[in-house]
Amino acid sequence: MNSANIDNIQLWGETLRLMVELAGTAAFALSGVLVAAQKRLDAVGVCMVGFLAAFGGGTLRDLLLDVRPFFWVRHMEMLWGVLALCMLAMLFLRSHHFALTRKAIEWPDALGLGLFTATGVHQALLSGMPALVAVLMGLITGVFGGVLRDIVCNEIPTAFSDHRPYAVCAFIGGWAYVGLWQLDAPGWLALLACITITVGLRGLAVWRNWQLPAWQLD
């Protein structure tokens, strides 16, 4: 955790980091629209759940790490982008008689999970947090957009009741980031490894229907 290392992270650029944030925001916005559509919310409600899913996790990350201004204040074009995305998604849903199966929501959700986990770990390391806290910040950033989305839709959050690994994937991906970073690996490598591992594990869990160890009462 020498300062050369921190410079290293800052140098590989805001660009890659911004792209990851943009893609994660879009993925979660889409998942929000799909969940809200399933609950038959009105047109404005669908957009608001899209916004909450897209910006909720990152805003909570910035609040907890005391980072101001928020990323959506620094990059206001994201706000217009998410608004456009929500409207296009609604038009598409209506015209294509798209089946709102649980599966359709899982893929953008898995993508957003990996992308936001990476930005959370990244930001926490920049703020000088210790390893375990950085991993937890990644997990919170990745998971809480979806949790807020499910709470306002009056559902028990998928992240807690899916019975397939979800938060665990973010936890492992976060440790991969921290591990590579402590080995002085280049910043882009740690970021991409975290994303690949998190999305890959969640994807495998969905595809192969992995189950968490059963523990429940009969």
> Smallest gap, in angstroms, from Cβ of residue 11 to its own copies?
26
Site for its own copies contains 103 (CB under 8 A): no
In sequence order, which residues have a C-beta less than 8 Å from that of residue 140 and are 6 or more positions away? 57, 60, 61, 64, 120
Name residue, tokens 């009462």.
217
Single out the residue of 139, 142, 132 nearest to residue 28, CA to CA. Answer: 142
Size of the site for its own copies (CB under 8 A): 61
> Smallest gap, in angstroms, from Cβ of residue 37 to its own copies?
7
Between CA 85 and CA 4 the distance in angstroms is 39
Q: Which residue type is seen at 56?
A: G
> Smallest gap, in angstroms, from Cβ of residue 151 to its own copies?
6
Which stretches within 69-101 are classed as H helix? 71-74, 77-96
Single out the residue of 125, 208, 139 nearest to residue 168, CA to CA. Answer: 139
Other C-beta atoms closer than 10 Å to the C-beta of 90 total 17
Site for its own copies contains 156 (CB under 8 A): yes
- The footprint of its own copies on residues 164-193 (CB under 8 A) is 164-168
> Smallest gap, in angstroms, from Cβ of residue 207 to its own copies?
18
Residue choice 14, 161, 182, 184 for contact with its own copies (CB under 8 A):
161
Angle, CA of 176, 151 and 98, to the nearest 5°: 85
Question: Quick one: 160 or 184, whose CB is closer to its own copies?
Answer: 160
Question: Quick one: 4 or 214, whose CB is closer to its own copies?
Answer: 214
**Residue ranges that bind its own copies, judged by CB under 8 A:** 36-37, 39-46, 48-49, 59, 63-64, 66, 68, 70, 72-73, 76, 79-80, 90-91, 93-94, 97-98, 100, 129-130, 132-133, 136, 143, 147, 151-157, 159-168, 212-218
